[in-house]
Amino acid sequence: AYNFCAGPATLPESVLVQARDEMLDWRGTGMSVMEMSHRGDAFVEIAETAEKDVRELAGISDDYAVLFMQGGASSQFSTIPLNLLGDKTSADYVNTGIWSTKAIAEARRYGNVNVVASSEGNGFTSIPDQASWQTSADAAYLHYTPNETIGGLEFDFVPDSAGVPLVADMSSTMLSRPVDVSKFGLIYAGAQKNIGPSGLVVVIIRKDLLGKARKETPTMMNYQVIADNGSMYNTPATYSWYLAGLVFKWLKAQGGVKAMGEINRRKAEKLYGFIDANEFYVNPIDPRSRSWMNIPFILRDEALNNAFLEGANARGLLNLAGHRSVGGMRASIYNAMPEAGVDSLIQYMTEFAKERG
Ligand code: PLP
């Protein structure tokens, strides 16, 4: 089966096989990773190796701390303003869809949010041109969502934040293509797309942004505390951290983020090319802003939606229904989706359109 779910998403099969093989006895320790003390040598080695590997993959310098936190990406929507507003009263946000909207709503609990640009007016089908953004020089930071998982909208550029720390929700694009981390103040990513199991969230924060949390910030949300304790202030999500480490090793074996970016571009171009050439299917997103990871499409005749999904399921093409808030279809094709999965989907879509068109 090929699983096109947006998250939790498909993981590399070899990672799952390795996790199964190591389940009862990790390298002769007589313990499952799930049973280990997070302070013991075995787990500390797992944790440190994962951090080293992700630093290498993403090109993260020592100017940044890498944190393995919990509560998913959504908890970061409040953790970020609590830590980064400092003595400023406002932050800038770009609104490109459902996830930015949620980040904005949460930040408004803690300060003023200046929405510097929004694509709401065109139904979130394009990224607003940066020349029109109304940024403010005294904003604490500029937040944006490089890839909107539900809308299928992705930035094809890194915004210029004019000296203000740039904060990015990379949940559904992290490690899918090369990114210059040095342009960012903070990057965060819920793990359940390209990294591992849900619940874990990886935070990459420039060290000069630590230590600015408001005094009412819960300890578990204080970046400085988490950094000072090597992400082990409390018991971390050990098994998720271990699985993320296996995914990082897998990614390195594939040739790293650059090689993965080329594969991802090819997979996405294939599927968009097919959709654009077949009048049975439509993708509404401005071609410049199309996501490589999440490809929404609708059938011109939406009365056929159920038949399409049933036929797909019967072939092992799973979870193609669009997000409940937007309907239609969505194919999420993260790193772990093999090109053969995209080929199978196109084959099925071709046949379905022929039969029903
Ligand atoms: N941000 C983006 C871009 C997402 O795709 C998601 C969810 O899947 C989230 C945030 C929320 O993540 P979580 O469910 O881990 O809180």
**How far apart are alpha carbons 356 and 151 in whole angstroms?**
26
Q: How many angstroms separate the alpha carbon of residue 172 from the centre of ligand 1?
A: 8
Q: Which of 164, 221, 181 is nearest to 54 (CA)?
A: 181
- The residue written with tokens 């029903």 in the block is 356
Q: Which residues line ligand 1 (CB under 6 A)?
A: 7, 72-74, 99, 145, 149, 169, 171-172, 190, 198
**How far apart are alpha carbons 164 and 186 in whole angstroms?**
11
pLDDT at 101: 98
pLDDT at 327: 85
Task: Select which of 26, 99, 133, 292 is catalytic.
Answer: 99
- Helix then strand then coil, in percent of the chain rounded to 5, is 40, 15, 40
Domains of the chain: 2-8+255-356 (3.90.1150.10), 13-253 (3.40.640.10)
pLDDT, block means (10 residues), the chain with 357 residues: 97 98 97 98 98 98 98 98 96 98 98 97 95 93 98 96 96 98 98 97 98 97 98 98 98 98 98 97 96 97 96 98 90 98 98 94
Helical packing angle, 339-356 and 256-277, nearest 10°: 10
Q: Which amino acid is at 145?
A: T
**How far apart are alpha carbons 26 and 79 in whole angstroms?**
34
Q: How many angstroms separate the alpha carbon of residue 74 from the centre of ligand 1?
A: 6
Q: Which amino acid is at 47?
A: A
CA distances from 328 to 124, 129, 158, 291 (A): 15, 27, 29, 16
Q: How many angstroms separate the alpha carbon of residue 301 from the centre of ligand 1?
A: 30
pLDDT at 325: 83
The residues that bridge with 167 in the sheet, in sequence order, are: 143, 186
Cα angle 280, 299, 316 (rounded to 5 degrees) comes to 100
| Whole-prediction pTM | 0.98
Q: Which amino acid is at 106?
A: E
Q: Which of 7, 11, 140 is nearest to 72 (CA)?
A: 7
Phi and psi at residue 66, to the nearest 5°? -110, 120
Enter the ipTM. 0.99
87 classed as catalytic: no
pLDDT at 357: 80
Asked if omega into 8 is within 30° of 0 (cis), the reply is yes
